[in-house]
């Protein structure tokens, strides 16, 4: 056998060995890629993404698309080396250390469950923000998420209870409850007025010291009682980053006219009940997903503008969104061709 043929044979074996090794060797990385988009004004499996009952709604056109990031990998389904290498080569995806997505002390299932809870909470916050924007009143409530095992509230206060007063003083925010409890001395009792199954009850709970402060062992979460029903259906999508697009979809359905102007608009951002838009992760992949879906305008949280400018796909216009009100005004200006449209570039 000639030296050249031997060299080619050995090289071929090495390439084959590396290929086989790369296909079977797992690596602790996660591949992030553009995920599917959903039109919040449209349907999923013949069901509306946003369904409003008990209030007049108006027809809409165009699209207000929420965007997502798909991932491969995780503690229970690690990717192989070849998948990671392909990701490093592909400019539309990102390969990140596994621990940036899944903390070492949390399982993949726990992260996914947390994302589901965040999505549910973001839907409520989005509805509250939309109603605030439209000056539609609603009631803020405090729900009991859980009680801490071994603490005084266990067995006395239950998950799902609503706290309406502390020692006779009405409360509507979780921080008001916490402040009232911390005003006691450890060992002092606190009387909670709660509603449970439509019945109002007074429940007295002693405090105990924890970290030098009095507590009763109640985990709370803010909630709302809206004057009509807003149901949001997004399938398996998790996390809080669709809040802005949910709010805009609700606003569009509850007001006359076409907020989109018939355009294909995508965007992202968390939302607070006061309408403040927060930054999110995976902005490069979300912009690619938006452009692949035909969007020409991308509503971008102000906190993501710098990163977005470095990776924006051709044909996608970045519109800066600091609040729901700002985003609504920007869309109205785009639809009419009049008014200022805030940009990530200035």
Q: Which of 173, 206, 225 is the last residue of a domain?
A: 225
pLDDT of residue 111: 64
Q: Report the distance separating Cα 270 and Cα 66, nearest Å.
A: 11
Task: Give the alpha-carbon dihedral of 118, 124, 128, 133, to 10 degrees.
Answer: 70
* Count of domains observed in the chain: 2
Please indicate, yes or no, whether residues 124 and 239 belong to a single structural domain of this protein.
Answer: yes
pLDDT of residue 109: 66
Mean pLDDT of 220-249: 88
Is residue 245 within 8 Å of 66, Cβ to Cβ? yes
Confidence of residue 11 (pLDDT cuts 50, 70, 90): very low
E strand intervals along 50-109: 50-53, 63-72, 79-80, 94-97
pLDDT of residue 16: 42
Q: Report the distance separating Cα 283 and Cα 285, nearest Å.
A: 6
Confidence of residue 12 (pLDDT cuts 50, 70, 90): very low
Q: Which two tokens stand for residue 33?
A: 């890629």
13 lies in some domain: no
261 lies in some domain: yes
Q: What are phi and psi of 258, to 5 degrees?
A: -115, 105
Q: How many CA atoms lie less than 13 Å away from 18 in the CB half-sphere?
A: 8
Residue 62's domain spans which residues? 29-135+232-336
Please indicate, yes or no, whether residues 311 and 276 belong to a single structural domain of this protein.
Answer: yes
pLDDT of residue 74: 72
pLDDT of residue 80: 76
Q: Which CATH number fits the domain that encloses residue 170?
A: 2.30.42.10
191 lies in some domain: yes
Q: Which of 168, 194, 225 is the last residue of a domain?
A: 225
Q: Which of 171, 200, 225 is the last residue of a domain?
A: 225
What pTM was estimated for this model as a whole? 0.78
Q: Report the distance separating Cα 79 and Cα 177, nearest Å.
A: 46
DSSP secondary structure code for residue 320 in this structure: E
Q: Report the distance separating Cα 159 and Cα 143, nearest Å.
A: 8
Instruction: Look at residue 228 and tell me whether its pLDDT is greater than 90.
Output: yes
Q: Which two tokens stand for residue 291?
A: 């452009």
Q: What are phi and psi of 222, to 5 degrees?
A: -70, 150
Is residue 147 within 8 Å of 234, Cβ to Cβ? no
Please indicate, yes or no, whether residues 123 and 215 belong to a single structural domain of this protein.
Answer: no
**Residue numbers annotated as active site:** 241, 286
pLDDT, tens digit, for every residue of 139-181? 888 999 889 999 999 999 999 999 999 999 999 888 899 999 9
314 lies in some domain: yes
pLDDT of residue 117: 67
Which of these, 49, 89, 78, 88, lies nearest to 66 by C-alpha position? 49
Instruction: Look at residue 337 and tell me whether its pLDDT is greater than 90.
Output: no
Q: Which CATH number fits the domain that encloses residue 313?
A: 3.30.230
Q: Report the distance separating Cα 137 and Cα 131, nearest Å.
A: 7
207 lies in some domain: yes
Q: What are phi and psi of 88, to 5 degrees?
A: -65, -30
Please indicate, yes or no, whether residues 131 and 257 belong to a single structural domain of this protein.
Answer: yes
Instruction: Look at residue 135 and tell me whether its pLDDT is greater than 80.
Output: yes
Please indicate, yes or no, whether residues 86 and 179 belong to a single structural domain of this protein.
Answer: no
124 lies in some domain: yes
Lowest mean pLDDT among 2-11, 34-43, 106-115: 2-11
Please indicate, yes or no, whether residues 120 and 172 belong to a single structural domain of this protein.
Answer: no
Q: Which pairing describes strands 317-321 and 297-301: parallel, antiparallel, or unpaired?
A: parallel
Percent share of the chain, pLDDT over 70:
86
Quote the mean pLDDT of the chain.
Answer: 86
Confidence of residue 115 (pLDDT cuts 50, 70, 90): low
346 lies in some domain: no
Is residue 318 within 8 Å of 266, Cβ to Cβ? no
Confidence of residue 305 (pLDDT cuts 50, 70, 90): very high
Please indicate, yes or no, whether residues 187 and 162 belong to a single structural domain of this protein.
Answer: yes
5 lies in some domain: no
Please indicate, yes or no, whether residues 131 and 143 belong to a single structural domain of this protein.
Answer: no
């Amino acid at each position: 056998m000639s030296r050249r043929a031997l060299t080619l044979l050995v090289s071929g074996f090495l390439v084959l060995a590396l290929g086989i090794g790369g296909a079977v060797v797992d690596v602790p990385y996660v591949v992030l890629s553009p995920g599917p988009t959903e039109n919040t004004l449209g349907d999923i499996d013949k069901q509306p993404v946003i369904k409003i009952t008990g209030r007049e709604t108006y027809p809409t056109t165009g699209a207000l698309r929420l965007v997502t990031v798909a991932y491969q990998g995780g503690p229970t389904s690690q990717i192989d080396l070849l998948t990671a290498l392909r990701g490093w080569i592909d400019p539309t995806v990102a390969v990140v250390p596994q621990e940036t997505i899944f903390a070492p002390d949390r399982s993949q299932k726990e992260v996914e469950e947390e994302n589901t809870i965040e999505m549910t909470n973001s839907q409520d916050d989005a509805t509250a923000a939309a109603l605030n924007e439209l000056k539609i009143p609603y009631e803020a409530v405090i729900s009991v998420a859980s009680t801490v095992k071994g603490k005084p509230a266990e067995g006395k206060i239950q998950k799902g209870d609503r706290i309406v007063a502390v020692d006779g003083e009405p409360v509507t925010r979780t921080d008001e409850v916490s402040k009232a409890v911390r005003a006691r001395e450890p060992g002092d009792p606190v009387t909670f007025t709660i509603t449970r199954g439509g019945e109002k009850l007074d429940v007295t709970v002693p405090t105990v010291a924890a970290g030098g402060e009095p507590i009763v062992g109640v985990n709370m979460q803010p909630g709302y009682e809206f004057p009509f029903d807003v149901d949001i259906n997004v399938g398996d999508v998790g996390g809080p980053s669709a809040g802005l697009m949910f709010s805009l979809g609700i606003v569009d359905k509850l007001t006359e006219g076409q907020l989109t102007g018939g355009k294909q608009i995508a965007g992202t951002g968390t939302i607070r009940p006061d309408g403040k838009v927060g930054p999110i992760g995976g902005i490069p992949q979300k912009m690619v997903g938006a452009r692949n879906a035909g969007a020409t305008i991308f509503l971008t949280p102000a906190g993501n503008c710098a990163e977005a400018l470095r990776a924006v796909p051709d044909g996608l216009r970045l519109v800066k969104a600091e609040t729901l009100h700002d985003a609504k005004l920007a869309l109205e200006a785009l639809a009419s061709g009049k008014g200022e449209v805030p940009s990530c570039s200035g």
